């Protein structure tokens, strides 16, 4: 077949195979356009989007205030580098993050970077500088990124770690609560106490990093008492608690930050990213001024961190998700979705659990193998629904619908999910 006879879809995928590293995993979808909860491919096929570019579209594709803010900013200036020329959009995002921060301390500051992994790395740098201690505690089923340190902190060998060692030193892993698989808060705290007795001196631990709802690990929300118990343990040993909300934050759970669902859970540092930039790359570390200022001047930064376009977009996103009406809508969305998922789960013995927090929801399949979840994702794609699997064993199906999704689109997407589950039965 000549180049001209190939569809745009096939031509782009052929070029992708020829020119792009096989190390990046890609789906069958080739995107031409996206708006709200819809993605349209290059052959004109429309999909309902429950993937959101992996949780980056809490306000939906091309959210109008974000697009307007980007246009306005593009007409003024693009890159400056905050270390070369101070610009207001960067400061404006840090001010909003300070106002919305769930962290301890009246005065909050932030640093802006490009990706979630970079933000987690910076949170560890800040914690090390502030405490003078080297070690980092992480948890089972964690995902914190793909850079050397964050890959080390991540808890899944294939595809994230296999062949990429040696890993960063001074990273210690504790059990995480996982009630569906029989691990309670008490088990996890006991495991952490044991780790601090058997493997690492708590006096050398700078921080413990926890996702309040584990994302890539399977949308596992921490049980109600766990964050406060972790807080108490950290306080006892002078360890800082880093709250990784790259996936669970920015309204995803029906609160601005997932940790706000938990009583007595006040982190020292917050890591945000993904939906923060409304579709542009932006991530942040936020916390009390004394921690953010513990790093000597020049110790934090980067060429593109907090670039003006991303900051303009993020200010619009934060204004939207901080609105109580927006959050109430997100919580209603979560209730509707959960009711539908519970009903669906009742039909199939192989669906083990419906779980999540607010509209951050997933179905975990009972068998710890990826095949059936992949079959559901594939059957959904064939019917016009974008879905993602997750979990240590790839056996959870997560739903990351935009929080702005219209009722009829949600209904359509859940109907397609219903068909996909039936097809995989």
Give the binding site for ligand PLP (CB under 6 A): 54, 115-117, 120, 143-145, 211, 215-216, 244, 246-247, 273
Residue of 63, 207, 53 lying closest to 125 (CA atoms) = 207
> CB of 144: closest distance to ligand PLP in angstroms?
5
- 183 alpha carbon, distance to own chain's centre: 23
Q: How far apart are CA 168 and CA 117, in angstroms?
A: 14
Closest CB to ligand PLP among residues 145, 254: 145
Q: How far is the CB of 396 from ligand PLP (least distance, A)?
A: 14
Residue 49 CA to residue 34 CA, distance in Å, equals 9
To the nearest whole angstrom, how small is the minimum distance from the Cβ of residue 114 to ligand PLP?
8
Beta strand spans in 298-422 (E): 351-357, 360-365, 385-386, 388-390, 396-399
Minimal distance, residue 145 CB to ligand PLP, in Å: 4
Could you give the 3-state DSSP secondary structure of residue 63?
coil
Q: What torsion, rounded to 10 degrees, do the Cα atoms 52, 56, 59, 61 define?
A: -50
The CA R_g of the chain, rounded to the nearest whole Å, is 21
* Closest to ligand PLP by CB, 117 or 176: 117
Q: Give, to the nearest 10 degrees, the angle between helix 407-423 and helix 324-345.
A: 30
Q: Among residues 196 and 276, whose Cβ is nearest to ligand PLP?
A: 276
Q: What's the min distance (Å) between Cβ of 237 and ligand PLP?
A: 24
Residue 129: other Cβ atoms inside 10 A: 18
The least CB distance from residue 85 to ligand PLP, in Å, is 25
Nearer to ligand PLP, 202 or 402 (CB): 402
d(CA 223, CA 262): 9
Nearest residue (CB) to ligand PLP, 156 versus 340? 156
d(CA 410, CA 403) in angstroms, rounded, equals 10
* Closer by beta carbon to ligand PLP, 47 or else 143: 143
- Closest to ligand PLP by CB, 26 or 197: 26
| Smallest gap from residue 240 Cβ to ligand PLP (A) | 17
Q: Which residue is nearest to ligand PLP (CB)?
A: 116
């Amino acid at each position: 077949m000549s180049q001209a006879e190939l569809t745009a879809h096939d031509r782009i995928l052929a070029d992708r195979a020829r020119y792009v590293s096989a190390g990046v995993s890609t789906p069958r979808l080739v995107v031409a356009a996206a708006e709200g909860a819809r993605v349209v491919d290059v052959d004109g096929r429309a999909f309902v989007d429950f993937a959101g570019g992996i949780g980056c579209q809490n306000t939906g594709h091309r959210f109008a205030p974000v697009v307007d803010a980007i246009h306005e900013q593009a007409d003024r200036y693009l890159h400056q580098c905050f270390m070369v020329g101070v610009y207001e959009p960067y400061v404006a995002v840090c001010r909003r993050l300070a106002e919305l921060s769930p962290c301890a301390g009246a005065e909050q500051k932030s640093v802006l970077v490009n990706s979630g992994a970079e933000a987690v790395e910076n949170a560890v740098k800040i914690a090390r500088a502030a405490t003078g201690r080297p070690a980092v505690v992480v948890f089972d089923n964690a995902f914190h990124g793909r850079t050397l340190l964050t890959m080390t902190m991540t808890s899944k060998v294939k595809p994230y770690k296999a062949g990429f060692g040696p890993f960063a030193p001074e990273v210690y892993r504790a059990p995480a609560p996982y009630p569906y698989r029989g691990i309670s808060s008490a088990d996890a705290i006991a495991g952490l106490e044991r780790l601090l007795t058997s493997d690492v001196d708590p006096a050398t631990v700078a921080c413990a990093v926890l996702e309040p709802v584990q994302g890539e690990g399977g949308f596992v929300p921490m049980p109600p008492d766990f964050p406060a118990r972790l807080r108490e343990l950290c306080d006892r040993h002078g360890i800082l608690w880093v709250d990784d909300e790259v996936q669970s934050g920015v309204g995803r759970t029906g609160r601005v930050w997932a940790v706000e669902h938990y009583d007595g859970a006040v982190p020292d540092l917050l890591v945000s990213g993904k939906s923060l930039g409304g579709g542009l790359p932006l991530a942040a570390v936020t916390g009390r001024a004394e921690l953010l200022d513990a790093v000597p001047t020049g110790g934090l930064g980067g060429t593109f961190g907090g670039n003006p376009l991303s900051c303009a977009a993020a200010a619009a996103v934060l204004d939207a998700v901080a609105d109580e009406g927006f959050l109430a809508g997100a919580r209603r969305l979560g209730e509707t979705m959960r009711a539908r998922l519970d009903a669906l789960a009742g039909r199939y013995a192989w669906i083990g659990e419906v779980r999540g927090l607010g509209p951050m929801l997933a179905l975990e399949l009972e068998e710890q193998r990826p095949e059936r979840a992949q079959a559901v994702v594939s059957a959904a794609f064939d019917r016009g629904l974008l879905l993602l699997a997750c979990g240590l064993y790839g056996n959870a199906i997560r739903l990351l619908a935009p929080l702005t999704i219209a009722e009829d689109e949600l209904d359509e997407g859940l109907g397609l999910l219903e068909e996909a589950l039936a097809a995989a039965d």
